[in-house]
Amino acid sequence: MSAQVASTATQPAAPAASPISVATCVAQPLPSGYQDIQAVYLAFYLRPGDPAGLRYWAEKAGGDITTILADFGNSAEAKRLYGDITPETIGDAIDKIYQALFGKAPDAEGKQHYIDGYRDGRYSAADLAYRILQGAQNDDKRAIEHKLAAANFFTRTVDADLDGTNQQATYDAKDEETVRQWMQAITAAVVPTPEQVRDFMRGQVAAPSDSLRQTQAKPQLASLTPDQAQAGQATRFTIRGQHLPSTARLNIGNAQCDAPVQVQCNGSGFTQNCTLGGDAGKRTATVQTAESGQAIDRKTIQATSAAPNPEPQPPQPTPIPKLDSIMPWRVALGHATVFTVKGRDLPATATLQIPETRCTAPTDVQPDGSGFKQSCTLSGQPGQRLARVRTDEQANGGTLIDGVYTVTAESFTPPPPPPPPPPPPFVPKLPHTGITDQQCYEAGSHNLVACDSPEAIALSGGEKQDGMRRHINPMSYAHVPKPGGGHYDKTECVKDTVTGLIWEGKVDDSSHLRHYAKRYTNYGDGRARDTSEYVAQVNAQGLCGFNDWRLPTVRELQGLVDYSKPYPDPAINTDWFPHTWDDSNTYWAAHWASDSYASEPAYAWFVDFRHGATSWLERHSRGYIQGAVRLVRGAAPPVQATCPSSASGRFVPTGVNGNEVKDMETGLTWARCSVGQSWDGMTCTGTASRMTHEAALAHAKEQAGWRLPNVKELSSLADRSCVNPAIDAAIFPNTAFGMDMEYLTATPFGRAPRRAWFVYFGSGFVDYHLHRYVGGGGPVRLVRASQ
């Protein structure tokens, strides 16, 4: 949250950075609960909190900081700093957090501690940065203490009393990166003084119209006591004033003085021991800045040669407490209100008393007697009440302090609750293949073993085989609710909760329009027994209340394939899709897709639910080789009319000189070149290496963060509006597509593990290899989760 509405005034050029020195002044602490929130801001955003933000989060936390960590850890600002924290990126994330907080890389033991804690659930992506900050030791801990001290100076410079009024500086989103860089210069050895904080904010944060830029308070000396001291004897002098710099010190002619102590960060003074030399007489005592020696003010003191025989002094009168204000003066009945009491020389035992009112103990009691805060809840009838401040030392309610004030109690009408925030926009994801955690390969064998077994990990490393990643975007389905309550039957429609698409259900009734075994041509011109006629009929019936059903794309239809299913079950979740055509007599289960075959418009693509292969078929096919249909509704992927068909902006070059590319639709990051090729800044040079399936898994093991993609991931790159190659050649230049150049995937062929799935980028078809070991193998393109 920002302190104020951002100013539109142009900021001046940033001045040269001034040296940072160690601050030794005594800072005014933040109110109860605020300091923990300040630490959370530092951990996740590496900057101070603004006063409004500290108030908001302190109230929301309610004393339990753990309740808000996820709000910070999952915020866009934290993810810009540290990225998405996943099992693949946990090591990189820890490096980034250490560099941000401590300006160094973590030691190996500490890094492993946090990696282990993340994997066994002690730490999460949402709280990792805060746990690392809280666990700091030695110099790291001192660095955090110094950053928090500087953050407190910064926040109180924005708003000295943190109450949202009389703010000196605008601090909002446009300043975040500037302030972050300033905070990174603060280490275990260096921390800015309050003056350096104000100078930094005046030059690089405050808007020209802010009071911090308009006026600069002049330091003033109010008193120096005592005004006489015995020569040759150490004397403690007390200096009081306003706006005194933290570097101020006392300088007395012919005197030896220690360093100042008890320096107040708010500029109200300090103490300093000095020993006067020489003879008795008057001396000039100068309060000056330590850096430049510039005099702030001077006083005269008397040096005596021997301790004087003091004359009896009359007793000093006790300061009379004065009450200046009680705010607010209008309050709501039955609603807790925090009153701010201000005055002079108020005793530490002062408390607010209002008739028919329940008050908590005072808080933020100022040691100089300038005031306190107290939460009170008024009851009874509306009207004026007398508010008094008394000491609480006496049984009769205490001594009245300086008269009474009036507050007005009004009926409290609670504001209507704010509308609930809109749900976050749904982001479709690429579903997992369905391969289970018992379907991973081991070295030297076709056997499928448990994915957490030593044999599987020895071959590929952790989280790199398909079954090791079954927890990432697992296929998941739900009933579609009816507008009047209840839900539609799964033989009518089913929602894919990973992609957000709604799929047509099928029935086991040969007389029904949506019988699962009915098959069609795919001309798309509305003729009888064609997919286009079927789409029109289903929309005319308003299936599940919708009339925007359509033929799915290959990628959408392949998203339903469950590659783990054993023969003879169809390769789909039959609990949710109980009637899926799979002809066991002909071994044929083609389902039409909307994609045309690029090199021959008379053909169209299909997905075969016997096992999950994709290929093409003549649109006019007859008999048993005709395709079945399962319709879909939902936003179709944006495509162009020509090759390449992907919408502009889908692929974003990243990495070193563009050697990687991020797919904005799936969130995956791909190597632009096949293994064996090199990126020269313009294209992929060299020849793609061919590997056996086992060699490809072993190779990916050695590439930190990279892995062999699963079949749905690799197939998502296929652009079936193109041919030779069937991929965006500008994004992935020199992709292999010749004879026997089928790109390998990490997905085993569940029905015969000696085979594994591949994607052929000559046309984009998906099939399985006859043998994982024999032949020349296939090319490889590696993938990783985006940072």
- Residue 216 is predicted with a pLDDT of 77
Distance of CA 540 to the CA centre of its chain: 46
Is 322-410 in the same CATH topology as 220-304?
yes
- Residue 786 is predicted with a pLDDT of 63
Whether the per-residue pLDDT at 21 is higher than 60: the answer is no
pLDDT tens, residue by residue, 256-292: 999 898 888 878 888 999 998 888 888 889 999 876 7
- Residue 8 is predicted with a pLDDT of 27
- Residue 668 is predicted with a pLDDT of 96
What's the CA gap between 211 and 208, in Å, rounded? 8
What's the CA gap between 89 and 625, in Å, rounded? 46
What average pLDDT score do residues 640-665 get?
Answer: 88
Whether the per-residue pLDDT at 163 is higher than 50: the answer is yes
Question: What one-character DSSP code corresponds to residue 415?
Answer: P
Whether the per-residue pLDDT at 319 is higher than 80: the answer is no
Q: What CATH number matches the domain at 220-304, 3.40.50.720, 3.40.640.10, 2.60.40.10, 1.10.260.40? A: 2.60.40.10
Question: How would residue 658 be classed by pLDDT, with cut points 50, 70 and 90?
Answer: very high
Confidence (pTM): 0.53
Mean pLDDT for the chain?
A: 87
Query: Are 778 and 769 within 8 A, CB to CB?
Result: yes
pLDDT tens, residue by residue, 485-494: 999 999 999 9
Q: Which two tokens stand for residue 61?
A: 């936390």
Whether the per-residue pLDDT at 314 is higher than 50: the answer is yes
Whether the per-residue pLDDT at 469 is higher than 90: the answer is yes
Q: What CATH number matches the domain at 322-410, 1.10.10.10, 3.40.50.620, 3.40.640.10, 2.60.40.10? A: 2.60.40.10
Whether the per-residue pLDDT at 14 is higher than 60: the answer is no
Range of weakest confidence among 244-248, 392-396, 586-590, 631-635: 392-396
Find, among 498, 497, 480, 501, the residue nearest to 489 by Cα: 480
- Residue 641 is predicted with a pLDDT of 64
- Residue 770 is predicted with a pLDDT of 64
Question: How would residue 650 be classed by pLDDT, with cut points 50, 70 and 90?
Answer: very high
What average pLDDT score do residues 510-535 get?
Answer: 94
Whether the per-residue pLDDT at 22 is higher than 60: the answer is no
3-state secondary structure of 554: helix
pLDDT tens, residue by residue, 324-365: 889 998 899 988 999 999 988 888 888 998 989 999 999 999
Whether the per-residue pLDDT at 86 is higher than 70: the answer is yes
Residue with tokens 């309740």: 67
702's CB contacts (< 8 A; 6+ apart) are none
What's the CA gap between 399 and 675, in Å, rounded? 86
Q: Which helix (H) or strand (E) holds 539?
A: helix 531-541
- Residue 1 is predicted with a pLDDT of 41
Question: How would residue 19 be classed by pLDDT, with cut points 50, 70 and 90?
Answer: very low
What's the CA gap between 609 and 622, in Å, rounded? 19
Kindly give the residue spans of alpha helices, DSSP state H, lying in 103-231: 108-119, 128-134, 138-158, 176-184, 194-204, 211-214
Question: How would residue 436 be classed by pLDDT, with cut points 50, 70 and 90?
Answer: very high
The residue ranking higher by pLDDT, 309 or 573, is 573
What average pLDDT score do residues 165-181 get?
Answer: 87
- Residue 561 is predicted with a pLDDT of 97
- Residue 605 is predicted with a pLDDT of 94
Range of weakest confidence among 402-416, 430-444, 606-620: 402-416
Query: Within 10 A of 420 (CB to CB), how many other CB atoms are there?
Result: 6
Q: Which two tokens stand for residue 383?
A: 């009207």
What average pLDDT score do residues 474-488 get?
Answer: 96
The residue ranking higher by pLDDT, 307 or 373, is 373
What average pLDDT score do residues 537-555 get?
Answer: 96
What's the CA gap between 437 and 428, in Å, rounded? 24
Whether the per-residue pLDDT at 318 is higher than 90: the answer is no
Query: Are 667 and 429 within 8 A, CB to CB?
Result: yes
Whether the per-residue pLDDT at 20 is higher than 50: the answer is no
pLDDT tens, residue by residue, 368-412: 889 999 999 999 889 888 888 888 654 445 677 766 688 888 887
Q: Domains of the chain: which residue ranges?
A: 34-214, 220-304, 322-410, 475-636, 651-785
Residue with tokens 């921390």: 191
